[in-house]
A and B are shown apart, each in its own frame.
Chain A
């Protein structure tokens, strides 16, 4: 029988000792969880914006030959058309998605609002590949748009903001592109984007490749975008692409210059490694903080319980059993842990919320997104448990020792 209520009341009576333990646990919990929350927020932000342009894609620019081949000197331009894209898709099973891309600068108008900006001619697979996701109620270019050369367009969110009044519904409305009417079929959901070629997507307008080619009387893509089925297929896919293009254009298959690749996986690997490094560093700092906090708690607990030896002697003298004494200290440690842990998590939550409220208006955040700290309750609970166990063990042994000696002995402690 451990007198539970007596112990609880004792907590309020022996304020300083309990306050110290609670404080130590609260401090440890708050500092570790807050720090890891900030790190996690940073990590998620970078991971998310790193994927803003699309995940695991490759951008292919046509180049020119750098080796004489089959009677032709070097320096022959290689131009890619829809036929090449079709051939690549058919010849290379590793390709998951592929799209040619035209790009030009055009004026756009809606009633009295004008802007001039980038207009891209792209295929349906381009949208998902490049992480251009439309707001609900809209859609990206589809195969029927392609086949019938419809005058439809998808607008970047900044384009919408310029051409339409705030709150106005853009989808279904008509805008003029280069003097021709286009129906808006989708609006890009705002996103963060760390890398671009040509410009950020919030500034872009996309129309079907076929419509673009009819308007501009061109067939030659500025670039092609492709994505392998799996990241590990990337290198094989690139090699096969060069071979197929070389064969179709009569170039040396060993010629590296006929197309240039921007393999975003390479950059993403670097980003992921940096983020992994960040996590490792934070983990180490967190671990060290945990050790420091643990030592602090162990110290507080050890000293306070040792100082309570005389009180333990008094309790023993009036008839407390050893297990009742131990029970008291275990209960005390558990309650201190629970309260300290709750306070620590609360403080951490408060800090994290406050950091989330700090205004951050730098241009940088348009591309990366605001890092919002993310509190992990798993981490918090683990920290609280670890600190609690440390406190418990540190208090248990002096309490055990004091409860095992004859009361006369414990009473002699000054």
Chain B
């Protein structure tokens, strides 16, 4: 599903070049549940952004579902993000002015779905994440856990194969985080590919595979021992 080779990402900070990724290879099959661990600044978000086509690598190759992503035009990348990838951010990134329903509809607005279809689909997804009674709420009228579930529903709007989540529980308490993680596990059960960045070892160990980043490189890539 995901085949990234020798990814490099350099940021130019004034005169200094910061190398956030220094040659990362990631191969992930369809249906895998992968956790990415690593200390702060190790390049986890950078990697996720590249995998989510939100950013482009300085060098390296990236194939998503067998198709090369490098060299795609801006609009083609937008289409990939829209149709193939659902991205969940640590800071939710919901439109503050729009309702929960409006936010979940957003990806469908840009793939040209009709209003009826959008609303039905968005409502269905909000029901699914347990927010059937919060559809008309705006983000600031929702708790952190509820916001993250809206964001997850949005990520699922176009039914993409790959769900990428960058510290989705980072701003949540344990209980709210647990609910969100449960939803990710449901997606795995449905055959989606899920990649989740976390600092929480317990959450990481529920994934079937852990990739450890350190200083822009992969330090370890393994299936964890089964606890319990």
Q: Interface on A for B, CB 8 Å cutoff? A: 1, 3, 5-6, 10, 13-14, 310-311, 313-324, 404, 406-409, 411
A406: which B residues are within 8 A, CB to CB? 49, 54-56
A319 and B110 contacting across the interface, CB-CB below 8 Å: yes
- Closest chain-B Cβ to A306's Cβ sits at a distance in Å of 16
Looking at B56, B79, B81, which has the most chain A CB atoms within 10 Å of its CB? B81
Q: In the complex, are the beta carbons of A317 and B75 less than 8 A apart?
A: no
Q: Which among B56, B74, B109, B112 has the highest number of chain A CB atoms within 10 Å?
A: B109
Q: Check A14/B54 contact, CB under 8 A, given A317-B87, A318-B82, A318-B110.
A: no
Interface size class of B (residues with CB under 8 A): 20 to 34
User: Counting CB contacts under 8 A, is B150 at the interface?
Assistant: no
Q: Which 3 residue pairs of A and B lie closest in terms of their CB atoms, listed nearest first?
A: A319-B82, A408-B55, A318-B107
A324–B102 Cα distance when bound, in Å, is 17
- Do the beta carbons of A407 and B98 come within 8 Å of each other? no
Contacts A311-B96, A318-B154, A411-B93 aside, 16 further interface pairs with beta carbons under 8 A come to A1-B112, A3-B109, A3-B110, A310-B93, A314-B94, A316-B81, A318-B82, A318-B107, A319-B79, A319-B81, A319-B158, A320-B82, A321-B75, A407-B54, A408-B55, A409-B55
10 A-B interface contacts by CB (under 8 A): A1-B112, A3-B112, A5-B115, A13-B97, A315-B106, A315-B110, A318-B157, A406-B56, A407-B54, A407-B55
CA gap between A323 and B87 in the complex, in Å: 22
Partner of B109, one of A6, A310, A322, A323: A6
Which of chain A's residues have a CB closer than 8 A to the CB of B112? 1, 3
B54, A317: Cβ atoms under 8 Å?
yes
B93 nearest CB across to chain A (Å): 5
Measured CB to CB, the residues of B under 8 A from A are 49, 52, 54-56, 74-75, 78-79, 81-83, 87, 89, 93-98, 102, 106-107, 109-112, 115, 154, 157-158
Contacting pair B75 A322 (CB below 8 A):
yes
Minimum CB–CB distance for A12 against chain B, Å: 9
CB-CB under 8 A from A319, the residues of chain B are 78-79, 81-83, 107, 110-111, 158
Q: Are B81 and A407 in contact (CB under 8 A)?
A: yes
CA distance A381 to B155 in the complex (A): 45
Pairwise interchain contact B115-A317, C-beta atoms closer than 8 A = no
Q: Which B residues are CB-close (under 8 A) to A407?
A: 54-55, 81
CB distance from B51 to the nearest CB of A (A): 11
CB distance from A352 to the nearest CB of B (A): 37
User: Are B95 and A311 in contact (CB-based, < 8 A)?
Assistant: yes
Q: Which residues of B contact A14 (CB under 8 A)?
A: 97
Cross-chain contact of A317 among B74, B79, B81, B98 (Cβ < 8 A): B81
Which listed residue (B56, B74, B82, B106) contacts A322, Cβ 8 A? B74
Q: Considering only CB atoms, which chain B residue lies closest to A324 in the complex? A: B110
Q: Which of A6, A311, A321, A409 contacts B78 (CB 8 A)?
A: A321
Residue on A with the closest CB to B138? Answer: A13
CB distance from B156 to the nearest CB of A (A): 11
**Residues of chain A within 8 A of B95, CB atoms compared:** 311, 314
Task: Tell which of A310, A318, A407, A408 has the most Cβ of chain B within 10 Å.
Answer: A318
How far, in angstroms, from A176 to B189 measured CA to CA in the complex?
A: 114
User: How far apart are the CA atoms of A10 and B79 in the complex, in Å?
Assistant: 22
Contact status B110-A314, CB under 8 Å:
no
Q: Which residues of A lie under 8 Å from residue B74 when comparing CB positions?
A: 321-322, 404
Residues on A with beta carbons closer than 8 Å to the beta carbon of B115: 5
Smallest Cβ-Cβ distance to A409: which chain B residue:
B55
CA distance A228 to B97 in the complex (A): 73
A250 CB to nearest B CB, Å: 95
Q: A1-B112, A406-B54 are in contact. Are A317 and B97 (CB under 8 A)?
A: no
Pair A318/B106 contact, Cβ less than 8 Å: yes
**CA–CA, A314 and B87, complex, Å:** 10
